[in-house]
Amino acid sequence: MNNDIEKVLYSAEDIQKTIGKLADQLSEEYKDKDPLILCVLTGAVLFTVDLIEKMDIMAQMDFIDVSTYFGGTATTGQLKLIHDMTADVKGRNVLITEDIVDSGRTLQYLVNLLKERGAKSVKTVSLLNKPEGREFDVNVEYYGYKVPNEFLVGYGLDYKGYYRNLPYVGILKPSVYSED
Ligand code: IMP
Ligand code: MG
């Protein structure tokens, strides 16, 4: 698996330090707000777990699965609600946790959905932010790293469902795609 990586962008250690800083900021912001932390499956699971573990405030957690990428390297442009959350968001301060915001399509859909359902506030924390990929006007209030316009894998990010379990984030070798 490691041999398929061209370059490591963020080491496991670096990522954990960055998450620690985000957790401190978010704990301060949400300490009296009883936040509902909404993890976007599947990519954001690793990030969300490490983040909430470092936040020492009362908070609840839920999951939602919206997908735009169906296992490849380019967005299909389609969006599907695959698995809905269970909590009632009415009047809640929702914090969406994402692995990466690229075009912003997923995030725009989620923010609209949560607002329609009556959330009191909706903010987003994403480990990675790829602003060059942006096609939709969305706010990413908190993020760990601004990343180049490359296809990344690791720490939750996948290529065809694989590489999520790498503890770091890296660029996949182009030879891996051309084998398809
Ligand atoms: P968006 O809707 O275009 O912003 O895409 C968001 C989703 O696409 C993320 O939650 C990821 O699951 C996936 N994605 C975007 N860029 C990458 C990447 O470089 N590697 C792996 N997955 C990505
Ligand atoms: Mg995702």
In whole angstroms, give the CA distance from residue 34 to residue 122.
13
- Model confidence band, residue 37 (pLDDT cutoffs 50, 70, 90): very high
- Exposure string of 79-100, with b = 16+ CB inside 10 Å and e = fewer, is eeeeeebeeebeebbbbbbbbb
In whole angstroms, give the CA distance from residue 127 to residue 171.
16
Q: Is the pLDDT of residue 71 over 60?
A: no
Cα–Cα distances in angstroms (integers) from residue 66 to residues 40, 82, 136, 163, in the given order = 7, 6, 16, 20
- Model confidence band, residue 121 (pLDDT cutoffs 50, 70, 90): very high
In whole angstroms, give the CA distance from residue 76 to residue 68.
6
Of the candidates 168, 165, 162, the residue with the CA atom closest to the CA atom of residue 73 = 162
Among the residue ranges 69-73, 113-117, 135-139, the one predicted with the least confidence is 69-73
| Range 77-98 average pLDDT | 93
The token pair that represents 165 in the structure block = 């379990």
Q: For the beta carbon of residue 149, count every other beta carbon within 10 angstroms.
A: 9
Which pLDDT tens digit goes with each residue over 123-180?
999 999 999 999 999 999 999 999 999 999 999 999 999 999 999 999 999 999 886 6
| Adjacency order of strands within the sheet including 93-101 | 80-83, 60-67, 36-40, 93-101, 121-129, 142-146
- Model confidence band, residue 80 (pLDDT cutoffs 50, 70, 90): confident
Which pLDDT tens digit goes with each residue over 60-69?
999 999 976 5
Ion ligand 2: residues, Cβ under 5 Å: 43
Which pLDDT tens digit goes with each residue over 41-53?
999 999 999 999 9
Catalytic residues: 102
Q: Is the pLDDT of residue 77 over 70?
A: no
Ligand 1 site-directed mutation target among 38, 40, 47, 68, most atoms within 8 Å of CB: 68
Work out the burial of residue 58: count CB atoms within 10 Å of its CB; fewer than 13 is exposed, 13-18 middle, 19 or more buried. Answer: exposed
Ligand 1 site-directed mutation target among 40, 69, 140, 159, most atoms within 8 Å of CB: 69
What integer pLDDT is reported at residue 73 of this predicted model? 60
| Range 20-38 average pLDDT | 98
The rounded Cα 167 to chain-centroid distance in angstroms is: 15
What integer pLDDT is reported at residue 47 of this predicted model? 98
